[in-house]
C-alpha cells in the first residue's frame, strides 16, 4: 500500500486501454490529451493509469502488452490510481525477468479471461468497470457501515436517481495551488490568497469543481 503523492516503479500487463479524449486544463486555456489504461499483475489486482499529452496520443494498441513504469505518481481520486509525470518513463515489453514471467502468466488467460479480480480504482474503462456492478451497494450502506466517519475517505459504488441539485452557490471553490492540498483558501482582496493548512499566501488559486446533489434509490 503506497502513500498518496508518492512515486512508484512497477511492471504490469495492460488489460485494456481507452480512446484518447481531450479535456480543458484547470486554467481553461489549454487542451490536454488523456488516455486511461487498466493495469493488472499476477496478484490479480488491477489499477488505472492515466497517460497525458504526447504519451496519450502515441502509446496506443497497448492492450496485452507488458510494460515497465518508473516514477509514476500514486493518486487517490476514485480509489487508488497512477499518473504519468513529465519525469516518468514507460518501456513496452522490457527485457526483464519480471516482464517475461508476467507475459507467460497472462498467456494462460487469453482464451478464458481472468478469474476474480480486485480493483483498486473505482472508476475507469474496460472490463474493470464492469466488475464493479457486482460491488454496488444501497445508499443506506453509507449509514449502516458508518462510511465517512473515519480519518480517511470511504468510496462506494451505487446506482441511484438524482432528486435535487443545489444551484444557489457557485459550481466551484477557490483552492490552494499546492499539489495534494486542495483546501479552500481565503481571498485576501488584494490579489492574494491564503491557505490556513499550508500557512502560506499565494498570488493565484485553483478553481475546483464542487457539486452538491441529493440522491435516492429504491
Can you read off the three cell numbers belonging to residue 37?
Answer: 489504461
Model pTM score: 0.55
The residue to which cell 500500500 is assigned = 1
Q: Residue 85 and residue 7: Cα distance in Å, rounded?
A: 9
pLDDT given at position 99: 93
Query: Do the beta carbons of residue 66 and residue 94 sit within 8 Å?
Result: yes
Q: Where are the alpha helices (DSSP H) in 74-206?
A: 97-107, 127-131, 141-144
pLDDT given at position 131: 47
**Torsion 5-9-11-17 (CA) sign:** positive
Query: Do the beta carbons of residue 84 and residue 72 sit within 8 Å?
Result: yes
The residue to which cell 508518492 is assigned = 6
Query: Do the beta carbons of residue 100 and residue 42 sit within 8 Å?
Result: no
Output phi, psi for 188, to 5 deg: -80, 0
HSE at residue 111, side-chain half, CA atoms within 13 A, is: 1
pLDDT given at position 10: 94
Query: Do the beta carbons of residue 97 and residue 105 sit within 8 Å?
Result: no
DSSP structural state of residue 18: P
80 has pLDDT over 90: no
Of residues 209 and 14, the one with the higher pLDDT is: 14
Q: How sure is the predictor about 109, in pLDDT bands with cuts at 50, 70 and 90?
A: confident
pLDDT given at position 129: 46
Q: Residue 107 and residue 101: Cα distance in Å, rounded?
A: 10
pLDDT, tens digit, 9 for 90 and up, residues 179-190: 778 889 999 999
pLDDT, tens digit, 9 for 90 and up, residues 118-148: 888 765 444 444 445 556 788 888 888 888 8
pLDDT given at position 124: 45
218 has pLDDT over 90: no
17 has pLDDT over 80: yes
Mean pLDDT (the chain, rounded): 84
Amino acid at each position: 500500500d503506497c502513500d498518496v503523492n508518492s512515486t512508484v516503479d512497477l511492471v504490469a500487463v495492460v488489460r485494456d486501454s481507452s480512446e484518447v479524449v481531450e479535456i480543458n486544463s484547470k486554467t481553461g486555456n489549454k487542451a490536454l490529451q488523456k488516455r486511461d489504461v487498466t493495469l493488472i499483475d499476477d496478484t490479480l489486482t488491477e489499477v488505472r493509469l492515466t497517460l497525458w499529452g504526447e504519451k496519450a496520443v502515441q502509446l496506443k494498441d497497448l492492450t496485452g502488452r507488458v510494460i515497465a513504469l518508473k516514477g509514476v505518481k500514486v493518486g487517490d481520486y476514485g480509489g487508488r490510481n497512477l499518473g504519468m509525470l513529465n519525469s516518468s518513463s514507460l518501456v513496452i515489453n522490457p527485457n526483464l525477468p519480471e516482464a517475461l514471467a508476467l507475459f507467460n502468466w497472462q498467456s494462460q488467460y487469453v482464451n478464458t479471461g481472468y478469474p476474480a479480480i480486485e480493483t483498486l480504482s473505482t472508476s475507469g474503462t474496460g472490463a474493470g468497470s464492469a466488475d464493479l456492478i457486482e460491488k454496488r451497494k444501497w445508499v443506506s450502506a453509507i449509514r449502516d457501515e458508518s462510511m465517512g466517519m473515519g480519518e480517511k475517505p470511504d468510496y462506494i459504488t451505487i446506482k441511484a436517481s438524482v432528486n435535487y441539485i443545489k444551484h444557489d452557490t457557485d459550481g466551484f471553490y477557490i483552492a490552494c495551488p499546492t499539489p495534494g492540498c486542495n483546501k479552500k483558501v481565503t481571498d485576501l482582496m488584494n490579489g492574494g490568497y491564503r491557505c490556513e493548512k499550508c500557512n502560506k499566501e499565494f498570488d493565484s488559486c485553483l478553481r475546483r469543481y464542487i457539486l452538491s446533489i441529493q440522491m435516492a434509490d429504491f
